[in-house]
Amino acid sequence: MDILPIYIFAKWQVKAGFTRQVLDLLDAAATESRKEKGNLHYNIQQSETDPDTIILF
């Protein structure tokens, strides 16, 4: 039986003034998530045109 990866994308619109705090929390969450068995990626991207928009992959 082949196991196919599951990809999850999430778009977050962060309340103005909280972006740095959210990014710090996401960095910590990503570090822990990457330790989980089977985790292939945990990427955090911030929009260049709207810094309050974050994409998780």
Tell me whether residue 2 is in a domain.
no
pLDDT, residue 4, reads 86
Arithmetic mean of pLDDT over the chain: 93
pLDDT, residue 5, reads 86
Tell me whether residue 3 is in a domain.
no
Predicted TM-score (pTM) of the model is 0.81
Nearest to 40 by CA among 11, 7, 10, 9: 7
Separation of alpha carbons 28 and 1, rounded Å? 34
If one compares 5 and 24, the residue with the highest pLDDT of the two is 24
| Burial class, 56, CB count within 10 angstroms (exposed 0-12 / middle 13-18 / buried 19+) | middle
The count of domains in the chain is 1
CATH number at residue 36: 3.30.70.100
Q: What is the pLDDT of residues 8-31, one digit of tens each?
A: 999 999 999 999 999 999 999 999
pLDDT exceeds cutoff 80 at 1: no
